[in-house]
A and B are shown apart, each in its own frame.
Chain A
Amino acid sequence: MDKAISVEHLKFAYPGVDDTPDIVVFEDLNLQIKQGSFVAVLGGNGCGKSTLAKHFNSILLPGGGKVYVYGMDTSDPEKLIAIRRCTGMVFQNPDNQIVANVVEEDVAFGPENLGIASPEIRNRVDRALKQVGMYSYREHAPHLLSGGQKQRVAIAGVIAMEPKCIVLDEPTAMLDPRGRREVMDTILKLNAEKGITVVLITHHMDEAAQAQRVVVLHQGKVAADGTPREVFSQVELLHSIGLAAPDTAELCWELNKHGFDLPLGSLEPDECAQILYEALKV
């Protein structure tokens, strides 16, 4: 089985309040995510990113069509627990996700709920904390940690449940540059070393650029889908739906309007500089 998540003809609407009509989010969404891949999901506010993420572990159920997680139908109540073991979620605000007064107890909360024997919990908690680089803080109080540290504890809490897939909904939105780097490094490492499938929902184009695949959602539909290079070359499309490409691609695009003829795929500053240098050297 190499498909982690399969979204087939998904329909979903939030019910309207009183007389107001339902808010339709998806009418016919199709998306496949491969096991072991790192997919970034981009889109403007209200495009359905978070709604989609909540379909990946049965927090929301399809109004029509199907969502399969490792072959399991998310609308089958019998599969609920198995699905939630497969797919862990990390949300935006670390303060809303931490439940215990000691870091290691917080990380143990998930495995405890899975009914795992305590020696095994001990192993998993230690392993998870080491993987996110927070082992030395295992006896600290979570509320005294920085945002990036708290978010890494939240991620440890998810990986202690040993999921095959982690869905992160804007995990760095509330963090400073250092915290963002810590979280991104952790995500990349889990994906590369443990083969965990990562679905990262983000507003930061530079984070999306680190994924293997970028999916752009707009008004409940897939507006673009490809490697970061392919997606971020489509600067006009991104602008038309209220998004932007990374600054490097934006610069090249703007320069092309001023008589340059630059490729738009360069995302890293050094690569962009190299391309500009080639174009300008005498």
Chain B
Amino acid sequence: MTPFIEVKNLTHKYSAGTPFEHTALDDVSFSLERGEFIGVIGHTGSGKSTLMQHLNGLLKPDSGEILLDGVDIWQDKKTTRQTRFRVGLVFQYPEYQLFEETVYKDIAFGPKNMGLKADEIDRRVKESAAAVGLSDEQLTVSPFDLSGGQKRRVAIAGVLAMEPELLILDEPTAGLDPAGREEILNYIDSYRKAKHATIMMVSHSMGDVARMADRLIVMNKSKIALMDTPAEVFRHADELVQMGLNIPVLTQVFMKLKQLGLPVEPVYTQAQAVKALTALKGGNADA
């Protein structure tokens, strides 16, 4: 079966042919299925952003290909343009990209560019606004009168309104408080379930990606260092630390518990930790 997204031997160099030449992606290959939640981690300069910008055709590979449903996204101009609607990209601090007079117009910008009919645009604007928790009254105000957290939602709604099949988000929760972070993550996951969309989320918050993602991509030095389930990835704790990454705090706690001699396996979410420890306590009580 053809995978939804297939990246084959992707290489990208910045400032090629100059003394500043830098290989940002070096022979990267992987594939994604529909409905998957993928977390992308890696320190600054590891190639995360360059990779993301290739997936919707903002950057062109120096070599290698990106296939969407088996079709090379650079096959012809029409396919490339279509790719930009099918793959939605939410940049870091997207609230700085708002520009329209009203929230409604800002969210409608993408669907309008897609050449959709007015009633379809209207449906999409309202649906995406509701999906990120914006009220109908807020649609008529200027986005610049909203708080930072609300602006962030408007920006995300603007991308959701294009109903992308692959939604890529670069640190969507940076700068938000814990309650705001949780809400945004829930909206993203609801969108994935409602549209059977694939999500790629770049984050420095290991706890968040570990909890949300089905699989993780770990970027290091322009290559994919690891790509596996969170449980498998966080087994490589020492390697991750060497790459300048953290491991989730709870995983650290459990690694220490194991060192101390308790019969536990590494976990990365609170629910897992509680389950493992209460089971252990129950076992002790019986003994």
A residues lining the B interface (CB < 8 Å): 17, 43-46, 92, 146-148, 170, 173-180, 203, 205-206, 242-244, 246-248, 250-251, 254-255, 258-260, 269-270, 272-274, 276-277, 279-282
Contact = CB atoms under 8 A, between A and B. Distances in A.
A269 B254 CA distance: 9
Interface in B237-254: 244-246, 248-250, 252-254
A242 B281 CA distance: 31
Given A148-B44, A243-B177, A274-B256, 9 more contacts: A147-B44, A175-B44, A203-B175, A205-B178, A251-B273, A258-B274, A258-B281, A259-B281, A279-B281
B204 interface: yes
Contact of A177 (B93, B244, B260): B244
A176 B281 contact: no
Nearest to B92: A174
A178 B262 CA distance: 31
Contacts of A206: 249
B59 interface: no
* Chain B interface SS verdict (over half): helix
Contact of B246 (A170, A173, A177, A244): A177
A92 B93 CA distance: 12
A176 B278 contact: no
B31 to A, nearest CB: 26
B257 A247 contact: no
B180 interface: yes
B176 to A, nearest CB: 6
Interface of B: 43-45, 92-93, 145, 147-149, 174-180, 204, 206-207, 244-246, 248-250, 252-254, 256-257, 260-262, 270, 273-274, 277-278, 280-281, 284, 287
A203 B284 CA distance: 38
A272 B177 CA distance: 24
Nearest to A246: B249
Contact of B257 (A175, A248, A254, A277): A277
Nearest to A241: B179
Contact of B256 (A179, A259, A269): A269
Nearest to A280: B280
Contact of A203 (B147, B178, B254): B178
Nearest to B258: A273
Given A269-B252, A281-B262, A44 B179 contact: yes
B278 A270 contact: no
Contact of A274 (B148, B178, B254, B260): B260
A178 B257 contact: no
A111 to B, nearest CB: 29
Contacts of A274: 256, 260
B270 A247 contact: yes
Contacts of A247: 207, 248-250, 270
25 contacts: A17-B145, A43-B177, A44-B179, A45-B148, A45-B177, A146-B44, A175-B204, A176-B244, A177-B204, A244-B178, A255-B277, A259-B281, A260-B281, A269-B253, A269-B256, A273-B257, A274-B256, A276-B253, A276-B257, A277-B257, A277-B260, A279-B281, A280-B262, A280-B277, A282-B284
B174 A174 contact: yes
Contacts of B147: 45-46
A146 B45 contact: yes
A30 to B, nearest CB: 23
A258 B280 contact: no
Nearest to A205: B178
Nearest to A177: B246
Tell which of A242, A260, A279, A281 has the most Cβ of chain B within 10 Å: A242
B244 A178 contact: yes
A13 to B, nearest CB: 16
Contacts of B149: 45-46
B287 A282 contact: yes
A259 B279 CA distance: 11
